A and B are shown apart, each in its own frame.
Chain A
Amino acid sequence: MRTLYSWRTRAETYATAPLLALVLLQGSAVVGTTTPLYWTAATANADLMLFIVVPVCAAVAAWEGARHRIGRIDTMTIVRRSWQVALVAVAPTLVMGLLGIAAAVASTAPAAVGAPGLPDPWLIAVYILVMAGHTVVGYGLGRWLPPALALPISLAGSYVWLAYPAAIEPFWIRHLNGLSFEGCCTIDRSPSPRALLATAVFAVALGAGVLSALAGTRRMRAVGGAALTVLSIVAVTVALPLGPSADAPRGGSVRCEGSKPVLCLWPEQEGSRGLVHAALASSYARLADVGMPLPAVVTAREAEARDAIFVGLAARPEPRDVVLSLVAGAVPGTVPDCATRGEWPGANSHVALTAWLALAAGVPASDLDGVAPPELIDLASRVRRLSNERQLAWYHANLAPLQDCTTQPRLDPSAFQDGAR
């Protein structure tokens, strides 16, 4: 089927190859920053390349709109519908954008190769909508503004809208542009459905608003304005409860197996099940020696962690990381509400308890660099020299201050030695 006019006249003919090269180059620079062996994280990391793909699509579409403006198609008595004219005009731009997104996903894919699953289709769908939305807006600007304004405004405007919301508050703004997924996710987390929906709805709002406004009739402009307003309000409403990051506890189920403890892992972690279980079993035995009560289940799924210990693990963790995750999961990590209103005496207890648990679980003191400051490692080592009963008494005495603001911690182990009061 012949094209309406030759590829020679299309900006995509000249822009696609450099765009893809740039995307692959950038992708190779950021691929190391993602959670390894997790397709969702690799796909999320690809959103860093939207910085390149989307503004280029917007500018190229603006040029196509400018050609229509220069060719005065508004003064022609056109039979085809304006949205059809617009979409056919930007179809090659959309193809270029799709290739750009495919290259972006491909460039971060090496981080996930070998992991079960495929790139996250929801993230890719949102990227496509963002790209399409900016493309249509670029085309609209090309139709409405002189080319000398439309092209730079499309390019720079698109880039600024993608880049800057992450640096400003309120947080909901950053969840409308599609760039908030960068940094998502550890294996136990996935993109927030709210962030995905807000981004998608806002992209549709932009596209629908511009396509309707291009219709030229007052009625369609009103429809476009209403669509833009209503969908934008919906997008903001959806994004409003979100915090700074666009991730949420991962859905789906973990597979539970083994005993002492029962170990529940994500599919990505199955390859390390033996190593993880061995490390946990050893720690469980050591902590049992001290008399430390631990739940029978250790799970990598945060949402299931009520009657189990949650361990946040990579796909291929080191034994030390497994034990430190267990320790981190065993100590309550939630700051009590009262801490936001006044002094929280238990603030220091958390690190001290973590250090003691780590030592009790078998981590050498020399491996605790970065986990606790030296003085607390030293303090935890002194606690370890107490009898098991007294270590446990010290643990419980310092656990209570973590959960309220009235109980004073008793970190000094000498207070728990024989004869002490």
Chain B
Amino acid sequence: MSVLITGCSFQYRTSVAVFRDLNLEFRSGATVLLGPNGAGKSTLLSLIVGLLRPGSGTVRVGDLASHVRRTRHQYRRRVGWLPQNVTAMPGLKVREQVAYAGWLKGLSRRDAWDNAAGALRRVAMLDLADRPSRALSGGQLRRVGIAQALVHDARLVVMDEPSAGLDPQQRRGLRDVLNALAGDVDVLVSTHQTEDISDVYQNVAVLSLGVVRYHGSVPSFLALAEPGTEPSRRAEDAYIRLVGAAE
């Protein structure tokens, strides 16, 4: 399911414009969004999931536009969202938390409860379904967040820096989850981690100062690296060359 951003401008009330006339299309599959801090990644993702509204222009996921009030519920049902900070609701067990997220997304209580088990299975957390959410590690909580994004059968899952703050082992677990998801749903992930993008994603977009510096396939992105760069450093090198050139 493609994401089409057309002529999009956005400005927070008290700051300078984050985007001016942004045009971008994320095609189906798994896409990683790279960019330095302050590049506008989180703002862009918030526009895509419908938390923010563009000042001008449109954001579409498939045939639905984020600004159309009549279809806003369908739009939000179509998109799953993992914000940067996933927190446990006090007192809730893992499955309850995921089911509650499903109910908030418009599922009936029964469907939310049933879907929660399926979503937890997809993120390999079903065995912890009866554990209090508060007792989870950061990596586990992030996976619960992904389950919350999946519980209502979203077609596109948008994740804002899901690997931030995770240790290498937790990152590997998250990568496995993303790999498993990538075949079922479209995934759009913002991150600072460049080392393993070729393992998970098909497409890369690089954003800097509100401008798209690169958008294309992973192999084309890696080809931007300095010739002779060792394979494990090619993504990082390509990124630095793009962003360095921009800043």
A32 to B69, CA, bound (A): 58
- On whether the beta carbons of B99 and A4 are closer than 8 Å, the reply is yes
Given A67-B90, A76-B81, does the pair A4, B110 have CB atoms closer than 8 Å?
A: no
Contact indicator A78/B76 (Cβ below 8 Å): yes
B87, A70: Cβ atoms under 8 Å? yes
The yes or no answer to B239 lying at the interface (CB within 8 A) is no
Residues of the A chain whose Cβ atoms lie less than 8 Å from the Cβ of B112: 4
Instruction: Tell me whether B106 is interfacial, beta carbon within 8 Å.
Output: yes
B96 x A2 contact (CB < 8 A): no
Beyond A2-B110, A9-B91, A70-B90, is A75–B51 a contact (Cβ under 8 Å)?
yes
CB-CB nearest in chain B for A73: B104
In A1-20, the 8 Å CB interface with B consists of 1-6, 8-10
Is B241's beta carbon under 8 Å from chain A?
Answer: no
Is A67 a contact of B109 with CB atoms below 8 Å? no
Q: Check if B90 sits within 8 Å of A72, measured CB to CB.
A: no
Q: How far is the CA of A112 from the CA of B88 in the complex (A)?
A: 50
A85 at the A/B interface (Cβ < 8 Å)?
yes
- Judged by a CB distance under 8 angstroms, whether A341 is at the interface is no
Contacts of B76 in A (CB 8 A): 77-79
Which residues of chain B in 100-114 are interfacial with respect to chain A, using CB atoms and an 8 Å cutoff? Answer: 100-101, 103-106, 109-110, 112-113
Partner of B85, one of A67, A72, A78, A79: A72
In the assembled complex, which residues on chain A have CB atoms less than 8 Å from the CB atom of B104?
73, 76, 78-80, 85
Q: Which residues of A contact B81 (CB under 8 A)?
A: 76-77
Interface size class of B (residues with CB under 8 A): 20 to 34
- CA of A75 to CA of B132, assembled, Å: 21
| B110 and A79 contact, CB distance less than 8 A | no
Please give, as numbers and ranges, the residues of chain A lying within 8 Å of B97 by CB-CB distance: 5, 71
Residues of A with C-beta under 8 A to B89: 67-68, 70-71
Q: Given A2-B113, A4-B103, A78-B104 in contact, is the A71-B96 Cβ separation under 8 Å?
A: no
* Cβ-defined contact, A3 with B109, below 8 A: yes
Q: A2-B110, A5-B99, A9-B92 are in contact. Are A79 and B87 (CB under 8 A)?
A: no
* Docked pose: A351 CA to B85 CA in angstroms: 78
CA distance A5 to B92 in the complex (A): 7
The interface residues of chain A, by DSSP majority, are classed as loop
B158 to chain A, nearest CB (A): 9
Complex CA gap A76/B85 in Å reads 11
In the complex, the answer to whether A6 meets B96 with C-beta atoms within 8 Å is yes
Given A68-B89, A75-B83, A77-B50: A2 touches B103 (CB 8 Å cut-off): no
Q: Contact: B85 with A80, CB < 8 Å?
A: no
Tell whether, in the assembled complex, residue B100 and residue A77 are in contact, meaning their CB atoms are under 8 Å apart: no
Q: Binary interface profile of B, 55-75, with partner A (CB < 8 Å = 1, else 0)?
A: 000000000000000000100
Closest to A63 in B: B90
Residues of chain A with a CB closer than 8 A to B99's CB: 4-5
A76-116 vs B, CB cutoff 8 Å, 1 = contact: the mask equals 11111000010000000000000000000000000000000
Are A71 and B88 in contact, CB atoms less than 8 angstroms apart? yes
In this assembly, does B117 line the interface, its C-beta being within 8 Å of a C-beta of chain A? no
Report the nearest B residue to A10, measured CB to CB: B91
Residues of B within 8 A of A (CB): 49-51, 73, 76-77, 79, 81, 83, 85-93, 96-97, 99-101, 103-106, 109-110, 112-113, 148, 152
Q: Which are the 9 A-B pairs with shortest beta-carbon distances?
A: A9-B91, A71-B89, A79-B106, A5-B96, A75-B83, A78-B104, A77-B76, A79-B73, A77-B81
Instruction: Please report A residues at the B interface, Cβ cutoff 8 Å.
Output: 1-6, 8-10, 66-68, 70-73, 75-80, 85
